[in-house]
């Protein structure tokens, strides 16, 4: 099947670029030093590719992702890295993990999230620490107290995690390295109070700025990078050596002078990081089912296929049901995006 026969809009992955991305990261962060974040692709088949490259511990964003990974038999150490108060969903996680003999750790950052984990029968938690990203996470000086509460409830406390998301796109690498070290000093200080074997952190934008190993004063045990697999236009600006493997393929459905319209719109793209891009073209705007663009470099015919590069991979992937794996224009496989939704 040729790419021109795919119904659009379609999430298309360049097989060679994907393979190079997987190999490159595995060389930089081998084995357990990388805890890939599956929210970036929401696909257990792709996660299995990461296992084949030596990674057996994973980060998940939702209970559904954890349960889906367990059901697929992919990975043996899963971290639910977001605070969850839904006891029913956490109970499903705990039950699935126990049945499969898989470690499923849950991030907690308050007495309330600890109580939810306890009521759900979760056996292992990790203290989420605020290292500068204004989102979830306990204050570093409160982390030890929360660990005490968790242990009083009979929970095992594996360690700490902290996401320096506010530093992922700092383009000045000297500045980024300094600020990451400051954030990791906060995290390691919290770890001194919490204990445990794990100090988990990071993302694609800072993966190369971390020292692996707790012998170093700002060292960590693993990095939670995910976007490196596909890469979007935002991460591409960092020039880290990863390729944009994902495009959303659309069809030109209208042509009015220099203006073209394709069937890729807001319902097929994550737009929180801005407009997508099309090589040698200028995006005018995106609407529900359409993107309107012009080009002074190229001409397009009605029915022609166009590759759209998303600005943010994670929410883009979540809008599609399958990944079309393509090599030199030929479809070689189709992988279900089976971890999508909550």
Whole-number pLDDT of residue 28: 98
* Low-confidence residues in the chain, pLDDT < 70: none
Nearest residue to 245 via CA among 23, 5, 7, 36: 23
- Quote the crossing angle between the two packed helices 111-120 and 143-152, to the nearest 10°: 30
Whole-number pLDDT of residue 241: 97
Whole-number pLDDT of residue 341: 84
Domain segments of the chain: what residues?
3-10+239-336, 16-229
Whole-number pLDDT of residue 342: 74
Q: What DSSP letter does each residue of 63-122 carry, written as one string?
A: HHHHHHHHHHT--SEEEE-S----HHHHHHHHHHHHHHT-EEEEEE-SHHHHHHHHHHT-
pLDDT tens digits along 173-206? 999 999 999 999 999 999 999 999 999 999 999 9
Question: Residue 302 burial by CB count (10 A; 0-12/13-18/19+): exposed, middle or buried?
Answer: exposed
State both tokens at 303: 């029915």
Angle at 252 between CA 251 and CA 257, to 5 degrees: 170
pLDDT tens digits along 47-71? 999 999 999 999 999 999 999 999 9
E strands of the chain, at which residues? 10-14, 57-60, 77-80, 103-108, 124-128, 156-162, 198-201, 222-223, 246-256, 259-262, 282-286, 291-294, 305-308, 322-327, 330-336
Whole-number pLDDT of residue 46: 98
Please tell me if the domain spanning 3-10+239-336 has the same topology as the one spanning 16-229. no
- Arch. (CATH architecture) of 3-10+239-336: Beta Barrel (2.40)
pTM: 0.96
Give the CATH class of 16-229. alpha beta
């Amino acid at each position: 099947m040729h790419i021109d026969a795919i119904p659009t809009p379609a999430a298309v992955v360049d097989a060679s670029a994907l393979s190079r991305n997987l190999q490159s990261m595995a060389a930089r962060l081998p084995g357990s030093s990388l805890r890939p974040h599956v929210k970036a692709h929401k696909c257990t088949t792709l996660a299995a590719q990461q296992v084949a490259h030596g990674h057996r511990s994973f980060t998940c964003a939702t209970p559904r992702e954890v349960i889906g990974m367990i059901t697929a038999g992919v990975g043996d150490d899963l971290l639910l890295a977001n605070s969850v108060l839904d006891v029913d969903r956490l109970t499903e996680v705990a039950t699935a993990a126990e049945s499969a003999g898989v470690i499923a750790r849950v991030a907690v950052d308050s007495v309330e999230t600890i109580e939810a984990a306890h009521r759900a029968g979760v056996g292992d938690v990790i203290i989420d620490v605020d290292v500068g990203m204004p989102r979830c996470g306990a204050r570093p000086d409160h982390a030890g107290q929360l660990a005490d509460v968790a242990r009083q409830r009979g929970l095992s406390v594996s360690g700490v995690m902290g996401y320096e998301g506010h530093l992922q796109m700092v383009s000045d690498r000297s500045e980024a390295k300094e600020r990451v070290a400051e954030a990791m000093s906060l995290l390691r200080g919290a770890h001194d109070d919490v204990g445990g074997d794990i100090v988990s952190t990071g993302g694609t934008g800072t993966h190369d700025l971390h020292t692996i190993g707790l012998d170093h004063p700002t060292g960590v045990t693993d990095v939670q990078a995910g976007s490196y697999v596909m890469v979007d236009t935002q991460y591409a600006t960092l020039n880290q050596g990863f390729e944009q493997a994902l495009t959303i393929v659309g069809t030109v459905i209208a042509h009015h002078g220099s203006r073209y319209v394709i069937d890729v719109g807001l319902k097929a793209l994550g737009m929180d990081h801005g407009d997508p891009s099309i090589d040698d073209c200028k995006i005018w705007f995106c609407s529900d089912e359409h993107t309107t663009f012009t080009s002074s470099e190229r001409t397009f015919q009605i029915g022609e296929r166009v590759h759209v590069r998303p600005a943010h991979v994670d929410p883009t992937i979540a809008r599609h049901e399958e990944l079309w794996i393509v090599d030199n224009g030929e479809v070689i496989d189709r992988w279900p995006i089976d971890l999508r939704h909550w």
